[in-house]
Amino acid sequence: MRTLLLVAAVLLAKHAAATTPDQLISRALEHLDAERYALTRTYLEPILIDPRLSAIQRSKAFYLRGYTFYLEGLYRSAAQDFARALEFDPGNDSALNALAGLHIDGDGVPRDLEAAYRLNLRAARIGNPDAKAYVGYALLTGTGTAADLASARFWLKEAAEGGQLGAKLNLARSYRAPYADPPDLPTAVALYEQALAEGAQDALTALGYMQLEGELGQADPKLAADYFRRATEAGLASGMTALAHLYLAGEGVLQSDSQGFALLGRAVAADHTPAFAGLAYLYQTGTGVARNDAEAERLYTAGAERGDLLCQLRLAEFLYARSDELNVGAALRWFKAAAEQGDASARNAIAWILATSRFDALRDGERAIAEAEIAVASNRSANTLDTLAAAYAEAGRFDDAVDTQEQAVAALTDHERAADPEYAERLAQYQTGKAWRE
């Protein structure tokens, strides 16, 4: 096969002089449409060195070759070609958007949401509809840039008018809490219904959650279930996941663990990341299915690797409970992944392990203090103060440990103080100049 491709490349090079660059690119596109990626690159090779090409044509050729690499999962090569495309034409909006996508997922380049936003903003200003939709989403959610509701709506409207149904859904979302204060629910509903009429079935799930959460008045789980059922019938995994939780809770439908399990299984089979934590929990607890810790761990791991925060937290707790050094170390890594997503409880868990682990290699008092201070700043409570005190003790700052632990004890209710005597035990230990060990 390799020999045939080399022969084809030689023949193409000889034929290139009699063919315009645009014609060669057109033929390469025919092979790309037919999913013959290696042959597409064979046609592109002589084009990339053709002296007749303009900078814009050469940029397009590099982008196309990079796109074939991307489709085959060769992300580093794709990133290199997208960058080369931009060297020849900084205004190649397709290359800007594609390189941004690699930064969003961390494929072939470092995961960098700020870089992704900047690249997509350049592409959006040129007119790329996908980039407009992403920029609107980023400005709405504060992803890679500061949140800016007015600017988010500008770009989302631009993208929606260009036929981006996902942008219309996010535009509707922008009129709901917590983005709009006060919310403009009639506008949100109208936009969802427009998107639904145009074929965006995901609007069904959004409208269902509005009913479930009482955004339109009194919560109506039964009507929410109807929306989620319609979404499920349309094949939407988001609807399956939402309906599954209603069955498990018995809200709006007759309670059924087996129905919940079946729906979550379908959603996971459709690779819907938010369903992984739910299905894993059912296996972990034996709800609607025989208990299976190995399957629970597999599902938590799969969801965690996809970036699901709840899976990362539950997997970390799952591993930490095993208590051996290897698993506690793995738990620490997953807590760090959750903390990078802004979860304060993960920061507190990291600090606790760094401060109190019985494994010397895992303890680090100064790092524990830094993590615990972030957790306390986010949520000052008996729990986070208790962790900060343990961190001070591990670092040898026993006066600070005693003072902070006294604050932690004072923050407990009488019932909590009686139910958890370890708070007082830790205080007594710090008063004697000893750190706490789990």
pLDDT tens-digit readout, 95-135: 999 999 999 999 999 999 999 999 999 999 999 999 999 99
Percentage of the residues of the chain whose pLDDT score is greater than 70: 95
> Span 287-298, mean pLDDT?
97
For residues 328 and 360, is the Cβ–Cβ distance under 8 A? Answer: no
The C-alpha atoms of residue 170 and residue 430 are separated, in whole angstroms, by: 52
For residue 372, the model assigns a pLDDT of 97
For residue 16, the model assigns a pLDDT of 45
> Span 267-281, mean pLDDT?
97
pLDDT tens-digit readout, 190-202: 999 999 999 999 9
Q: Quick one: pLDDT band at residue 51, thresholds 50, 70, 90?
A: confident
> Span 153-172, mean pLDDT?
96
Q: Is 80 exceeded by the pLDDT of residue 22?
A: no
Q: Is 70 exceeded by the pLDDT of residue 12?
A: no
pLDDT tens-digit readout, 307-352: 999 999 999 999 999 999 999 999 999 999 999 999 999 999 999 9
> Span 227-244, mean pLDDT?
98
What one-character DSSP code corresponds to residue 333?
H
Per-residue DSSP letters for 149-184? Answer: HHHHHHHHHHHHHTT-HHHHHHHHHTTSTTTSSS--
The C-alpha atoms of residue 408 and residue 402 are separated, in whole angstroms, by: 10
Q: What is the mean pLDDT of the chain?
A: 93
For residues 383 and 348, is the Cβ–Cβ distance under 8 A? Answer: yes
Q: Is 90 exceeded by the pLDDT of residue 37?
A: no
As given in the structure block, the two tokens for residue 364 are 């680090």
For residue 244, the model assigns a pLDDT of 98
For residue 19, the model assigns a pLDDT of 64
For residue 236, the model assigns a pLDDT of 97
- Total Cβ atoms within 10 A of residue 400: 17
First to last CA, the chain: 61
Domains of the chain as residue ranges with CATH: 343-438 (1.25.40)
For residue 42, the model assigns a pLDDT of 80
